[in-house]
A and B are shown apart, each in its own frame.
Chain A
Amino acid sequence: MSEPNMDGAQALIKTLDSLGIEYIFGYSGGAALPIFDALETVDSNIKFVLSRHEQGACHMADGYARATGKPAVVLVTSGPGAGNTITGIMTAQMDSVPMIIITGQQVTWMLGKDAFQEADIFGITMPVVKHNMLVRETNALPKAAREAYHIATTGRPGPVLIDVPKDISQSPFTGDLEPEIDLPGYTPEVAFDLDPGALDAAAELISHSSRPVILAGHGAMIARAEPELMEFATTLGCPVTNTLLGKGVFPETHELALGMLGMHGTAYANKAMCECDLIINVGSRFDDRIIGQADKFGAEAKIVHIDIDPSEMNKMIRPDVEVIGDAKAALTALNKKVAPLDTAGWRATLDGYKKKFPLGYRKQGGLRMQQVLDELYNLTGGRAVVTTDVGQHQMWAAQFYRTDAPYNWLSSGGAGTMGFGFPAAIGAQFGRPDDIVVAVVGDGGYQMTLCELATAALHRLPVKVLVLNNHYLGMVRQWQELFFDNRESGVDLDGNPDFVKLAEAYGVKGFNIKRPADVGRVLQKALDYNEGPCVINAECVKTENVFPMIPAGAALEDMLIEPPKHKMAKPVGST
């Protein structure tokens, strides 16, 4: 029941506290004043972290959620404050990350009148959220928060936004703090009600396969299906490839692991996809980065697609068997139905590819990003929580920082958001204070959100920011080199600051790596420094390209394992 003299904002904070919310990341402002005041007046376990930009707050909540599996809350004001969250919300939506965003709003009687800092954030965010709501009744706030939490964290997770007009948050609350949620159109529990016919059909296809591949995606991780996936793969003797977001759901160092597939995946993973007779997709949405030319993908193979979201079926690829439901439940059921397969010949073929087409890099002619990542992997024993930005450094990190455990690889996949890595690392470090957290970023993306150095410094978070600096937007430059006659346009980051001096201006420790011989020594110093954040600026070769590469929209068999000798046609797919 409500307490005397409580207002809506206090009821909202009490509700978030009772839901177990540990962190609110945000930025204050006029329309959110009552809610910020409630953070001071309500006795709760919630800790508030002030970011330096609302996008950073979203990525912090995102990183926290990806690193812990638990949602965090973003709290911002109306208008520009809410508008600055869009990229962060979109990033979470594209990668199915739970998040609750609370935006302050103008008072209800001013809505639609172009009032100060009024933006129709309910309308603006509709295409980039799992769900959103505009609360028009003070007593409805606890129900809105409970429904938002439920929607964000169940089924296929995603961001849910609650827009709270100022008069709603500051009016007296006289309602129920623990109302029943009422969502007749939302039934995530059906994910555990699997179709036995589909499971039998999947088991039947599996029993006839001699060249199977498991494609493990983020959905398997969200379902916490690692043990079931391990049992499934080892029982069958089935090789496993993973998506970018699936890194860690199956240990990439396991003998059955093929590593990441797709545009910049390993040659052997992509060859396995081309030559297999069965693809068992566990929780991946057949993203365009991994299938290339859709009509040629798995053309010779049978396909089993396990996904919690029915709308992913037939979206990109038409499977032979659709298993709609939770990945853990589906694999648990399938493990009772399958028997070992004779895959010795198939595995020998793939092991041959592993030997013939290993990931590698040149160790002469300057410092390469791959070497820095390779040494980081060795020095941390592969146990760090790694976040990345987007671009060449991200793909090399995915290739060279093999991930063996879930929730240790945090990267913006679907949205491809530059500026994600550093704030996501801050959120991850708040959620996992005892783990090593490394933000692997490029010099481009880092500059989009580096104002959060203040946030990291203030909280003395031992986040390591590894800036792989080539003074270029390297991935775009690579495309211009390969497909646009090497005409560089809008990619030269001439004018970069001295990242070490900049760090020092924030009171943050800085390191430089200038030569290949320095890498191990400097990285070790940075890893040993735990009094607060540190920035490691690694001056890398400017014009290195990422391979293997499948040009966008091309078939997997058209993969370039090394730089092409002839001029390339412009890719048919986008980006």
Chain B
Amino acid sequence: MSRQILTTDSKLPPQPDILGGHTLSMLVNNQPGVLMRICQIFARRAYNLDSVVVSRGRDPRFSRLTLGISGDPAGLDQIIKQCAKLVDVIHCYEHDELDSVTKELTLIKILCAPAERGEILQILEHFNAKTVDLTDTSVIAMVHGDSDKVDAAVRLLSKFDIVETVRTGKVVMARGEAAT
């Protein structure tokens, strides 16, 4: 099949989660430049941001920021304190899978002939996922849930011609009555 889409997507199956459970959630002032201040703290200390999710809060004065991070766990405590110290950061908490629910959503574009669709739809049904775009030559699948589940779906779909995947990155919420 001739490829129409330029892509940087990898043929490799998804790698196991390298984040080691480091997910930070921050409540921040909803103002220009706040993300920049936070990113500077990570970049200066050679931490890579694997995912960044920012969204305006119900109270529009604030935004919610969820960061997935990789880097030396020994320095993370210091980074959390540095972030919390910023005037624009209301609070900064680290969460793991035990104290929080963590979800993400992925869109997967697969080039496929109509004859291949049946198996793709079967896989998607198993993962409780669906198609959100369908053409004669392509499908966009939407998978959401735990990161492991999304990884498994991508792995199973890898035998088809995946040309793009776009993941939202993790969003996290503390379990029970605890603050996120």
Contact = CB atoms under 8 A, between A and B. Distances in A.
Interface of B: 28-29, 32-33, 36-37, 40, 44, 61, 77-78, 81-82, 84-91
B33 A185 contact: no
A184 B30 CA distance: 12
B40 A185 contact: no
B78 A314 contact: yes
A168 interface: no
Interface in A5-37: none
A123 B88 contact: no
Contact of B78 (A126, A183, A311): A311
Contacts of B28: 185
Nearest to B80: A311
B82 A123 contact: no
Nearest to A150: B87
A264 interface: no
Contacts of A151: 87
A309 B29 CA distance: 21
A131 interface: yes
Interface string A125-163: 011001100100000000000000001000000000000
B33 A126 contact: yes
A311 B91 CA distance: 14
A347 B41 CA distance: 43
A134 B44 CA distance: 23
B77 A314 contact: yes
30 contacts: A122-B33, A123-B33, A126-B36, A126-B37, A126-B40, A127-B44, A130-B87, A131-B86, A131-B88, A134-B32, A134-B33, A183-B87, A184-B29, A184-B61, A185-B28, A185-B29, A185-B87, A185-B88, A185-B89, A185-B90, A185-B91, A309-B85, A310-B84, A310-B85, A311-B81, A311-B82, A311-B84, A313-B81, A314-B77, A315-B78
Interface in A155-191: 183-186
Interface of A: 122-123, 126-127, 130-131, 134, 151, 183-186, 309-311, 313-315
A184 B40 CA distance: 22
B90 A184 contact: yes
A313 B82 CA distance: 11
A189 B129 CA distance: 50
Contact of A123 (B36, B78, B90): B36
Nearest to B37: A126
A131 B88 CA distance: 9
Contacts of B37: 126
A186 B81 CA distance: 13
Contacts of A130: 87
Given A126-B40, A131-B86, A183-B87, 17 more contacts: A122-B33, A123-B33, A123-B36, A126-B33, A126-B36, A127-B40, A131-B88, A134-B32, A134-B33, A184-B90, A185-B89, A186-B87, A309-B85, A310-B85, A311-B78, A311-B85, A315-B78
A186 B90 CA distance: 7
A130 B89 CA distance: 13
B59 to A, nearest CB: 10
A123 B36 CA distance: 8
Nearest to A136: B32
Contacts of B87: 130-131, 151, 183, 185-186
Nearest to B32: A134
A134 B29 CA distance: 14
B134 to A, nearest CB: 41
A136 to B, nearest CB: 9
A311 B79 CA distance: 8
